[in-house]
Structure 1
Amino acid sequence: MKDYGTAWRILRPSSMTDQIFIKAQRIRSIETKGTSKVDEGIRDEFIGIVNYCAMALVQLELKPAEQPEMDHDEALKMYLNNIHSAKALMENKNHDYDEAWRKMRVSSFTDLILMKLHRTKQIEDNQGQTIISEGIDANYMDMINYAIFALIKLEFPEDEENL
């Protein structure tokens, strides 16, 4: 927020979804090609996914603003509440799935994020209506967690050898 303020408050949730898609698509491109021409790696893009998902959750709650300025303390509080909620969800799912993520590849997290994005876009195209599936907010939460798992795997790749 020190660099950009709360300019993101003007974005509709569907635009946030597209921003997340751009980041996930770039990660997949780098994973596939094995190289990038821009001096930002996939780690930065996964961090961006976490941030955009948390901001998108704020947008779902508050709706986009015509004037994007928001009190920075309030924006940070809402952002952190969403991160804490995602962490609680991660802990619960981690318990139920017996830490299966530890045996997964980073590229699988990329693919799962892309799948969640396609689901989210479909829900958005249906004006947020679902019959039995979770809503847009649940998809953003899952994407936060997949991105965090990928960041852990990137930070501690030696752990893969010990599985």
Structure 2
Amino acid sequence: MSETSKQYNAVIESCRSLFINKMKDYGSAWRILRLPSLTDQIFIKAQRIRGLQQNKEQKVDEGQVSEFIGIINYSIMALIQLEKGVAEQPDLSLEDATTLFDEKVSVTKQLMMDKNHDYGEAWREMRVSSLTDLILQKLLRVKQIEDNKGKTLVSEGIDANYQDMINYAVFALIHLKE
């Protein structure tokens, strides 16, 4: 389990580094995005990954790794938006955005560690394509919850689905590096 924690941290560090560099380039322009817009961005990335996994020919020179990183970062942004609400203008400094990023990762990693304990690291036996399909399933669930104005009867909320997408994408990146 400590190996999983180290691998998880390494993946998140590369995601965090990209997040910080994009914040330096663009500021917190993403703060104006409504939740369905972020969900759609994640959906596009997951669909592209699925296409890369199924198609023999690739026309854009970006692979699965950058798309999984995008899923992680957009999901973290969505978790921040859930907490703070949508802004009319960019309103977060680099320091504040990075602090929020780290807080969301900390809670999400703890969820992964708890589930990993209970499931016995079953993800290590899963295929990357299955992790992609699970992310797509979570996205369809989120879209349905959004269409239901955030209400669920017996199911987890949107935040839990974003956290699962982050964790599945981290697992996929660990697999791709091995």
State the TM bucket, normalised to the shorter chain. over 0.9
Amino acid at match of 2:26: Y
Amino acid at match of 2:102: L
Residue of structure 1 equivalent to 2:110? 88
Matched, 1:47 2:69: yes
Distance 1:135 1:74 in 2: 25
Moved over 6 A (4+): none
1:52-71 equivalent positions in 2, closer than 5 A = 52-71=74-93
Residue of structure 1 equivalent to 2:12? none
2:52 to 23, 30, 48: 30
Structure 1 residue 71 displacement after superposition:
1.6
Contact kept in structure 1, 2:27 and 2:93, CA below 8 Å = no
Structure 1 residue 34 displacement after superposition:
3.2
> CA RMSD, aligned part only?
0.7
Amino acid at match of 2:174: I
1:52-131 equivalent positions in 2, closer than 5 A = 52-131=74-153
**Which one has the bigger helix percentage?**
2
SS at 2:26's partner residue? coil
Structure 1 residue 23 displacement after superposition:
0.3
- Unpaired runs of 5+ residues, structure 1, are 157-163
Matched, 1:8 2:30: yes
Q: What is the number of equivalent residue pairs in this alignment?
A: 156
1:21 to 28, 40, 43: 43
Amino acid at match of 1:73: E
Structure 1 residue 68 displacement after superposition:
1.6
1:78-103 CA deviation, whole Å, 9 max, x = no partner?
A: 11111111111110000000000000
1:89-118 CA deviation, whole Å, 9 max, x = no partner?
A: 110000000000000000000000000000
Distance 1:148 1:34 in 2: 24
Distance 1:96 1:145 in 2: 15
Distance 2:149 2:96 in 1: 28
Structure 1 residue 2 displacement after superposition:
1.3
Structure 1 residue 28 displacement after superposition:
0.2
Distance 2:35 2:57 in 1: 31
1:2-34 CA deviation, whole Å, 9 max, x = no partner?
A: 122111000001110000000000000010003
Structure 1 residue 70 displacement after superposition:
1.4
